[in-house]
Structure 1
Amino acid sequence: MAEYQISTNEGGITQITISGAVASTDSELFRAFSHLSSSKCALVNFLELSEASEELFTRLEDVSSRTKIKVIVTKPEFVTKCNKIGLQTFPTTKSATLSHAGDETLRLLIAQLRDVPILNTEAYKLIQHVASPDANFPELEKMLQNNAGLCSQILRTANSSYFMRSSKAETLQQAMVTLGFAPLRQIFIYNFYNSVGNFFGVQKDTVEHGQDCAKLAEYIAQSAGASQAECAKIRLIGLLHDVGRQALAFFFPQQYEKVQHLIRVDKNPSYLAELVVFGTEHQSIGSILANSWNFPDYLSKVIADHHYLKATDWNKLSLPVFCANNFLNQRDGEPFSPYYHKLEGYFFLKRAELPWKDIDAEFNEFLARPQEF
């Protein structure tokens, strides 16, 4: 017969710890699951569980329809059964508790984002339109007709040497047709991010870091022979890679002070410090924002992975950003990951030779040049 204990941990989360062998007749244990049903979230600890009947997993699946459950378990057979019914598994109580904290952070953030004024900007509405399957140039022209800044930017880009038109685009619609929806979407995202930067304006250092990262990542890509289309994507990723950090710092300023303390004093990388404080990190937040704002898939994928580099499919986009980001962190005295071998790996992928003899000096010299952003 199984034994169990119900407790409440420091985060106020109900936890039931089950030990021994659970039989299908353990009715007292199954009745105790009613304590879990009355909570928004709960932990179930299987670390001392030796055997488990199918009835245990059936009951847990039923409770999970009402309560967000995370299971603490290491035995492979129990992990497999939990995953089969859609339950998240964690090796320790701490990791499961942090995951709950991360869920709560995301819930609060998404709730607050619904009311932010940046979602009413013209650029945001334009992004939504071009992402729609019903997008069309006449409707887009109507939406743009009173925005002189965006109209001139579109005409200037369409008539640049990159598109090699035989004659100049003389109307907005001609310019939009020349560019196509994907480059137009990039232009609108840049303009939208300006609104985001103004909204998160208290974080001047993070905005400037993003601008430097965009410039340097694009420079790395150009030096490796990347196409203009690739370079444009890499520049945009560099600019936006820390948007999740901006959101966390803006909406949770007191908690983010703790993150800054861990970075400064304990020399923890930002994403690890954020995990300790929030149970999630700016990569995940940034990816969720990118998806909710209808940004292209490559942006959400690389933003989610710009510290870990687990998604190797995106290496041609993520590696320049990883290298630029860590070079800047090293320059600014922030915790950083070694990047030289990743830089070599990127040039190997592009079948190019590294052109720099003194990377620190030459990168700093490039960043010191006056450049338009």
Structure 2
Amino acid sequence: MLNVMSSTGKLHSPQHRKKELLLFLESEVECIMLNNEGKMDILSAEHPFLVIDWGFGILEVINIDSLIDGSHKAVGALNLFAHKCQNIVFTLPPQCCFTADVGAQLRVLSEKINLKLVYLADYQVPFQHDFLESFNSSEDAVLRLKGAIVIRKIIKDLVDVTPFRTSAFNLLELLNKPDISFDYIEKCINEEPLLIARILQVANSAFYMRRNAVEDVQQALSYLGLDGIRQVLVQLMFHNLATTYFSQQKEKLLHCECCAYLAVKLAERKSKDIHFLGKVRVAGLLHDLGSLALQFSYPDEYAKVADLIKSHSSTIQAERSVFGTDHCEVGVRICGEWKLPDYVKSCVAEHHAFTSANNERVNTPVICANAFLNLEIEQLPSIDYAPLTKFFALTPNISNNEAKMEVTAFLYAAWKSFKAEHENSL
């Protein structure tokens, strides 16, 4: 069973939490038996029910009686548990039914805590309960609660990190305003020496292939445009996180760098638009933002995800089984909190999926590059990137198999170039 998070944010072992709950409940029930499966069998003279500690601060109350009315101790226990736990699953086995008077109590309780209801047949719940989310299995209800808990914790963990306290983040927020002017942006940048240095460095980098040097912020703005400046700011935020909060995740960071490199190489086969290529690079760097965040906030739990992946589960399936959510969903939430561009959010959401709508969009080369790295280099389960290769193949009238062979050979050559440039990191 996973460790659980207390209201203070301190991790407690399941045994610690059981003792805490036993102390809390000992004056409220007649007898509590703790079995080897981690269940607390709460046995009153008339109203028996079970409580399961699922970890992550989630409790499940399972009724045993055939009829549950408003005076049943299982209903009363919900109010007791609500003082110690904000996430509760209330389960009705097939032989159990509510009476109508329970509905009002559950409505009040649902306004205080995250309450989920589990039952199989409509006759078990004889009242309207649109205020409650219901499920057919305890596992599904627990996963829904777990996913919400995980995302809330990650957002909280990242709220106070450096990107939110830098001029780069503040300026990125300003760029989202429709009436922002170049003059005001130039003024803001000129007040930040580090921003000036980074923007000039990027504008004069080999990526932008300029013949004449960009010498001041005004020239950089004129050349890069608002989209280009936005790309620089997002890269600044990412590299700051990579060198501080995510610095222990060297393999994942290298994967992000390599994916961005390969995605740009693929995109160059279809476009020479430097601003489009810049977006591809940013999307490639940030596509696994959710994975970095999950491992940052839950390093021990993510080790279990890695074990599941080794047993041939897909990354998405493994993450959902442990966390109730996946790195794509987490990443999208972070993109929203950080107000990152829509093309970044789209790539973060879709980089493990392929649809025909992906074609000719920023995330197309990223999806292809990521799947190539997963399947061919990292030997991980992933989507088949073959349907995308025909889009990037240069040979006309080519078959699907020939397109895959051509693009795969191209990607292998590009990967070897990246590997040579980063030999010390690999």
What TM-score does the superposition give when structure 1 sets the normalisation length? 0.78
CA contact (8 A) 2:87 2:145 kept: yes
Query: Which residue in the other structure is 1:304 paired with?
Result: 349
Query: Which residue in the other structure is 1:366 paired with?
Result: 414
Query: Which residue in the other structure is 1:9 paired with?
Result: 53
Query: Which residue in the other structure is 1:130 paired with?
Result: 175
Query: Which residue in the other structure is 2:376 paired with?
Result: 331
For 1:184, give the aligned amino acid.
Answer: I
Higher relative contact order (CA 8 A, sep 6+): 1
CA distance in 2, matches of 1:226, 1:46: 61
Change (3 A) 1:95 1:352: farther
CA contact (8 A) 1:322 1:339 kept: no
CA distance in 1, matches of 2:151, 2:208: 42
Query: Which residue in the other structure is 2:71 paired with?
Result: 28
Deviates more, 1:238-247 or 1:88-97: 88-97
SS in 2 for 1:9: strand
Report 1:1-373 matches (<5 A): 5-11=49-55, 13-17=58-62, 26-29=69-72, 31-32=75-76, 33-35=78-80, 37-38=82-83, 39-46=85-92, 48=94, 57-73=103-119, 84-85=130-131, 87-133=132-178, 135-145=180-190, 146-147=193-194, 148-153=196-201, 155-156=203-204, 172-177=217-222, 179-199=224-244, 200-224=246-270, 229-264=275-310, 266-309=311-354, 316-343=361-388, 357-369=405-417
Q: What is the percentage of aligned positions where both structures have the same residue?
A: 25
Change (3 A) 1:314 1:361: closer
Change (3 A) 1:139 1:8: same
Change (3 A) 1:254 1:19: closer
Change (3 A) 1:327 1:130: same
Structure 1 residue ranges without an equivalent (≥5):
none
Query: Which residue in the other structure is 2:12 paired with?
Result: none
CA distance in 2, matches of 1:88, 1:143: 47
C-alpha deviations, 1:87-146, integer Å up to 9, x for none?
434442122222322233223323322332343333223222222456333332233222
Deviates more, 1:34-43 or 1:353-362: 353-362
C-alpha deviations, 1:271-294, integer Å up to 9, x for none?
332223333222122222221111
For 1:173, give the aligned amino acid.
Answer: Q
Q: 1:198: how far off?
A: 0.6
Change (3 A) 1:278 1:232: same
Q: 1:244: how far off?
A: 1.7
Q: 1:208: how far off?
A: 1.3
C-alpha deviations, 1:7-34, integer Å up to 9, x for none?
23343633344689989xx432595353
C-alpha deviations, 1:256-315, integer Å up to 9, x for none?
222223333x232333322233332221222222211110123223312322458x7555
For 2:71, give the aligned amino acid.
Answer: E
CA distance in 2, matches of 1:120, 1:186: 18
Deviates more, 1:274-283 or 1:51-60: 51-60
Change (3 A) 1:155 1:306: closer
RMSD over aligned Cα, in angstroms?
4.1
Change (3 A) 1:189 1:5: same
CA distance in 2, matches of 1:290, 1:156: 28
C-alpha deviations, 1:48-94, integer Å up to 9, x for none?
27877876555433321101012334568999x98843x43444212
SS in 2 for 1:48: coil
Q: 1:365: how far off?
A: 0.7
Deviates more, 1:31-40 or 1:255-264: 31-40
CA distance in 2, matches of 1:113, 1:174: 34
More helix by share: 1
Structure 2 residue ranges without an equivalent (≥5):
1-46
Change (3 A) 1:367 1:333: closer
CA distance in 2, matches of 1:76, 1:178: 63
Change (3 A) 1:54 1:128: farther
CA contact (8 A) 1:17 1:44 kept: yes
Deviates more, 1:201-210 or 1:352-361: 352-361
SS in 2 for 1:152: helix
CA contact (8 A) 1:18 1:48 kept: no
